[in-house]
Amino acid sequence: MSNNISNWRTALQTDLDAETIQIDVCGKQIEQWHIAGEYWLRFAKLAQKQGMRWVAGWAEQGTEAYIVNACFACQGEYLCLYTTLYAEKPELPSQATIYPAASRSERHTQDMLGIHFIDHPDGRAWTRHRAWGRHDYPLRKDFPLQGHPETITPPDLDYQFVKARGAGVYEIPVGPVHAGIIEPGHFRFQAVGETILNLEERLSYVHKGIEKLAEGRTPEELVRLAGRISGDSTIAYSWAACRAMEQAADISIPPRAAFLRGILSERERIANHLGDIGAICNDVGFAFAQMQFSRLREQWQRSQAKIFGHRLLMDRLVPGGVKVDLSAADCSVLLQELKALRKELDELIPALDLNSSLEDRLFTSGYLSPETAKILGTVGYVGRASGQDLDVRRDTPYAPYDQLNLNVAVEQQGDVASRVWIRIKELFSSLKLLRQMITQLPEGELITPWHKPTEGSKGLAMIEGFRGEVLSYVHFSDDNTISRFYARDPSDFGFLALEKIVLNNIVPDFPVCNKSVNPSYSGHDL
């Protein structure tokens, strides 16, 4: 951190009587602060004044108390905060009054563990959807994995959406079941004519119980589970879970394994950006781009199936390394593929850039100001399209990115067009990174043998997925199994941004605004 933040941190640590320990995050020793609950809100206020970003919040039930955690970041440095709640009815001041990005996370913690956040701006249940009782909390240790399911879950009819008011104002309910093959999510619009005045989301329809399912799993089983949180980000989630566990077990993976993980991650990024660019164009009627970019993505994924054994690259990572390798012949094929894709993109991108009809639909649509993007904590292409210069690969570099030349693209316009161009620039950046990694691929082993971590060991890791910063936290039991697993998808912030992006746009532009963000329901709905 810069000197002024370091000085502020030292002064605040004394002021809050914080107990400090060192933990390893992405290969860096950073501080974890244990503070009293009475200082929870005060820390958030002062952190916000120092320009710190709220990253994630989660909680867990210990033997005698509840532990509530929050993670903050500034200038590539992370600071982890936690407090201990011993009360029978645990409660804590809400940080959502300072950081809007914390709102849904706190509501999720309330639904899953029964921790009450005082003065929270929105007291409605978020995750529960009546799938379990009002006073049941699935992440408590006495709640069974199978729960107490009814034959049919009763409909959640009591959720109080914001009401439409005023002359000419009307509501448009969309979902949760959609006409397309997508996951369920409800969007409640208020509009006048075709102009959107407000959008409110209702999510967690596909709550999968990932956090509860993770309890008691071995490291290998956890990686397999993590890779299925959001199928389009299987490498990002697998890598984050692996790194968190490797930190907890004090394991360093072989250099060759790190490069292979990087190759898989950049291939995942390219596949998703190709699909997104085509889909955004298709949402405004430019079907030619959809067909061409879908073709390129299909070819890319067929190559992955042939060389790496899976179209979506699932189960390629294991704790301690990887279980796939590249031969010299494979590397030659991949380099030729990079060259061919670059040639295709050089022909296709001008067709987008010079299309005036496409420009009319994308430019100025779905505007997200840099100020709002910062307030909401947006990351990835959503944040970078609105001036948020954040990328874990560069700011908190981990192998192999600490050995590569990486250019991070940033736009200031904040509209749909900017979110397209960020993706395009990242395509070219990933092609360069892949060429570096393939040509510099070191010799050596693929896996470092796993050893049992000590009881209570914890790990926290961040990986730059294609949507942005993916976070994983693990806490080990005494038998080499997982006591607590938490994952945070960048879609948590993308969905918040979407509610602002659509304001003052026309209703028919919602699909393209939504696709330009492309938040993951599955990644959000743990």
**CA–CA separation, 488 vs 495, rounded Å?**
13
Lookup result for tokens 């997200």? 368
Report which secondary-structure segment, H or E, holds 348.
helix 328-353
**CA–CA separation, 18 vs 195, rounded Å?**
49
Q: What is the token pair recorded at 397?
A: 């570099």
**CA–CA separation, 487 vs 471, rounded Å?**
6
Q: What is the token pair recorded at 117?
A: 């956040």
**CA–CA separation, 489 vs 524, rounded Å?**
6
Q: For residue 204, how many C-alpha atoms fall within 13 Å in the half-sphere facing its CB? A: 19
Q: Can you give the pLDDT at residue 28?
A: 56
Report which secondary-structure segment, H or E, holds 214.
helix 210-214
Full 3-state SS string of 482-521:
EEEEEEECCHHHHHHHHHHHCCCCEHHHHHHHHHHHCCCH
Domain 3-118 listed as CATH 2.40.30.10: no
Classify 210-524 by CATH class.
mainly alpha
Q: Where in the chain is the domain with CATH 3.30.460.80?
A: 3-118
Provide the residue type at 438 as one letter: I
**DSSP-assigned letters across all residues of 61-97:** E-SSSEEEEEEEEETTEEEEEEEEE-SSS-EEE-GGG
Let me know: does 439 contact 262? Beta carbons within 8 Å: no
Q: Can you give the pLDDT at residue 26?
A: 47
pTM of the model: 0.94
Helix segments in 60-205, DSSP class H: 103-113
Task: Identify the segments of the chain with pLDDT beneath 50.
Answer: 1, 25-26
Let me know: does 219 contact 251? Beta carbons within 8 Å: no
Classified as helix, coil or strand, 101 is: helix
**Residues 6+ positions from 109 with CB-CB distance below 8 Å:** 57, 58, 59, 68, 115, 117
Q: Can you give the pLDDT at residue 166?
A: 87
**CA–CA separation, 200 vs 328, rounded Å?**
52
Q: For residue 300, how many C-alpha atoms fall within 13 Å in the half-sphere facing its CB? A: 27
**Residues 6+ positions from 360 with CB-CB distance below 8 Å:** none
Handedness of CA 175, 508, 200, 209 (dihedral sign): positive
* Phi, psi dihedral angles at 200 (to 5 degrees): -125, 135
Q: Where in the chain is the domain with CATH 1.10.645.10?
A: 210-524
Let me know: does 192 contact 169? Beta carbons within 8 Å: yes
**Residues 6+ positions from 281 with CB-CB distance below 8 Å:** 287, 288, 289, 290, 293, 352, 358
Nearest to 118 by CA among 94, 99, 88: 94
Q: Can you give the pLDDT at residue 503?
A: 97
Q: Residue 52: count other Cβ atoms within 10 Å of its Cβ.
A: 23
